[in-house]
Chains A and B, each alone.
Chain A
Amino acid sequence: MENRPLEYDYTVAKLFMYNTIFVGIVGMLVGVILAWQMAFPGVNTFLGVNLAEYTNFGRLRPLHTDSVIYGFVLSGVWSSWYYIGQRVLKVSMAESKFLMFVGKAHFWIYMAASIVIVISLLFGITSSKEYSEFEWPLDAGIVIIWVLWGISIFGLIGIRREKSLYISIWYFIATFLAVAMLHIFNNAEVPTWLIAPGVGSWYHSVSMYAGTNDALVQWWFGHNAVAFVLTTPIIAMIYYFLPKESGQAVYSYKLSLLAFWGLMFVYLWAGGHHLLFSTVPDWMQTMGSVFSVVLILPSWGSAINMLLTMKGEWQQVAASPLIKFMIMASTFYMFSTLEGPIQAIKSVNALAHFTDWIVGHVHDGALGWVGFMVIAAMFHMAPRIFKREIYSKSLMGTQFWIQTLGVILYFTSMWIAGITQGMMWRAHDEFGNLAYSFIDTVAVLHPYFTIRAVGGTLYLVGMFMFAYNMYKTMTSSRVVEESELQNATPMGA
């Protein structure tokens, strides 16, 4: 009995995994619709003129951003947490009825909130704050979901057998704390029914902050939501899954230490780069700009640590599409965290801000780094959770190349679009008058919007391949023994 390996319980990890795949497809489908709307505005009425209120760009845009960030990515993160947490802490969810209950409550309350969020956004119930559009009842619900996750983290840590916390756990803890802080401060709002009960919508609220202060808090939130939803938990995942999958030890403990504490300290300062040349005090803008450049160091620290973990084992990258996903994710992370600081330099930002270059930057990070890592995590976990091999290695490989092509089309077209538009906005003729009317700078973007829509569509096609591969893996793939699951994930042809 003593030497029997722990039986980990993946009930909750499974639930979140299903949702990752489902919302991944839905959220990206909405994104693809938005992309085609920008290329061909007729798509705004694709369900007819009568439903255009619910299918136009403005209504769908928050639905896209929130569903991919908080639906696809967070589900992927939580699926990974309920898998990794048990393994690195050497304790099973089955050992605690309480933690199992908390985990399930976490999932189901999250699902209920997700449904309400989709409906409310479709009906235009929004606070307008980017990536934080939800009105106060939902903000309160999010607090409950977050607290449940916190109980799960610290509960599992409380009953752990492995005393030392693995790197992934550091990042999960940081994610939990930072998002809690950001969410509460950014959503400080007063429901209007407190002051005027019975007048107007009961769910309406007013921000505690006005004007410039509101912008400051919002972009402190907005930037760091990217940091602590789209970066730190993804680093937690790659620090576990890449060494596991490749059978290689993490290259450097010291580098991981430096990268972690560096990232914690530096990231929060950089939000000001969203507000360059705005009415925010100049010194704050400069701080935001400078810290953004410093941010390259801790970001690259993690990414290089991952790439060097593969030292001497690069043949695995050629051989395994799963390792390819992770290495490409890490590469896109480096790329994106170099591009971001460049855009945060004041003179570059003067050109890039308000253009599609920013949208391109977000997506090379989101699709290339976050999306690929979430996909890789699912592929790594599925055989271990369902005790079956991956249904098709070649399908996974095809998905990898199609999606990589999609990301490349996306960011290259948006680079060109953004820089073109930025240059045209500022162009003056020989008399000092503006050279182009605004609509000139829109019309010129049509080919790039079309290329972007094709790129996004390719990525979505890859998501369907992913869903099919996962479905077959869960249901009808070859059953494998525990001994086959040590390192490299078993895959069928």
Chain B
Amino acid sequence: MFHWLEKNPFFFAVAVFVVIAFAGLVEILPNFAQASRPIVGAKPYSTLELTGRLVYIKNSCNACHSQLIRPFKSETDRYGHYSTSGEYAYDRPFLWGSKRTGPDLMRVGNYRTTDWHENHMRNPAEVVPGSIMPAYTWMFTNVADVDTAYAEQLTIQKLFGVPYNAELPMADGSKATVALADTLDGARASALEEAKLIAADMKDQGVKDAVAAGQVPEIVALIAYLNRLK
């Protein structure tokens, strides 16, 4: 049979394809049948948080920081409760990472503050002596891309039914709603409102001025995202 295949490239290619496609069918499809279902307490990202997530991706933070807590005592001691699948239901793309040059950030919002992040992003080694993380000074002046985050929100709401403007059950029994504006201007305004709350806790005068002038510096969006990771 193999000698025959080697003389018949078409059937050879078909045979190879069948053999390699098999594993994907068995291993990957079943998980899609029960698509990622959100856990109680999972919320979609607000416009500013999603903007911050884009900043996180733009700077490949995931190259050095994981967002996946494995179910070991050493990990739950260090980072908090181990990860569950439903927590990631609104993560497109997933940001688990594959390398911990720096610590896991899955629940960094539980134990770091806006002030800590501001100091740390400006000069990591000053906050954590011995840190090898680069300083991210440009984030204090670059303006974040709120518009693209809004476009992404519209896309996931429409295509994947991500529940914006809907009451969602929280772990403590309460209800929460993540608002999504009807218009781009509305989205910009709501992102700016959120940004003002972050900037109020920051010291950098340039950042404060920018927010007062209606702009969202990347650092503000990023901190909004990091604070949200819980």
Residues of B within 8 A of A428 (CB): 73-74, 77
Chain A neighbourhood of B98, CB < 8 A: 130, 274, 354, 358
Within 8 A of B (CB), among A306-354: 350, 353-354
Least CB distance, B156 to chain A, in whole angstroms: 6
Cβ of B194 within 8 Å of any chain A Cβ, yes or no, is no
Identify the closest chain B residue to A277 (Cβ). B70
Complex interface: stretch among A51-59, A105-113, A243-251, A472-480: A51-59
Q: State which of A177, A209, A267, A269 has its C-beta within 8 Å of the C-beta of B13.
A: A177
Q: Are A196 and B151 within 8 A (Cβ)?
A: yes
User: Can you name the residue of chain A whose Cβ is closest to the Cβ of B187?
Assistant: A199
Interface centre among A195, A269, A291 (most CB of B within 10 A): A195
Instruction: Determine the distance from Cα of A377 to Cα of B161 in the docked complex, in whole angstroms.
Output: 51
Give 19 A-B pairs besides A201-B151, A210-B35 with Cβ atoms closer than 8 angstroms. A38-B132, A52-B135, A59-B59, A127-B93, A154-B9, A164-B6, A177-B17, A177-B20, A181-B17, A190-B155, A211-B90, A214-B94, A217-B28, A261-B19, A279-B83, A279-B85, A425-B74, A425-B78, A427-B74
A200 and B93 alpha carbons, distance in the complex (Å) = 18
Task: Decide yes or no: A200 and B94 within 8 Å by CB, A211-B88, A257-B2, A442-B132 being known contacts.
Answer: no
Residues of A contacting B22 with CB < 8 Å?
265, 268
In the assembled complex, which residues on chain A have CB atoms less than 8 Å from the CB atom of B154?
192, 195-196, 199
Question: In the assembled complex, which residues on chain A have CB atoms less than 8 Å from the CB atom of B159?
Answer: 190, 195, 206
Point out the residues of chain A lying under 8 angstroms from B94, CB to CB.
210-212, 214-215, 218
Q: Mark B46-58, 1 if CB is under 8 A from A, else 0.
A: 0000000000011
Binds B, one of A69-77, A92-100, A431-439, A451-459: A431-439
Contacts of A204 in B (CB 8 A): 148, 151-152
**What's the Cα separation between A194 and B156 when bound, in Å?**
12
Q: Complex Cα distance A54/B180, Å? A: 33
Knowing A41-B125, A354-B100 are in contact, say whether A61-B70 is a contact too (CB < 8 A). no
Interface contact B101-A210, CB-CB below 8 Å: no
| Contact present for B147 and A200 (CB under 8 Å) | yes
**Nearest Cβ on chain B to A34's Cβ, whole angstroms:** 10
Residues of A contacting B184 in the complex (Cβ-Cβ under 8 angstroms): 199
Q: Is the CB of B36 within 8 A of A181?
A: no
Interface residues of B in 29-86 (CB under 8 A from A): 30-32, 35-36, 57-64, 66, 68, 70-75, 77-78, 83-85
Give the residue name and chain of the A residue nearest to B51 (CB): A200
The residues of B that contact A252 with a CB separation of less than 8 Å are none
User: Could you name 29 residue pairs across A and B whose Cβ atoms are closer than 8 Å?
Assistant: A44-B135, A62-B63, A124-B58, A124-B59, A165-B6, A170-B12, A178-B20, A185-B24, A194-B155, A199-B154, A206-B155, A207-B92, A210-B160, A211-B92, A212-B88, A213-B32, A214-B91, A218-B93, A220-B27, A268-B23, A269-B23, A277-B70, A280-B31, A281-B30, A354-B97, A426-B72, A428-B74, A438-B103, A442-B131
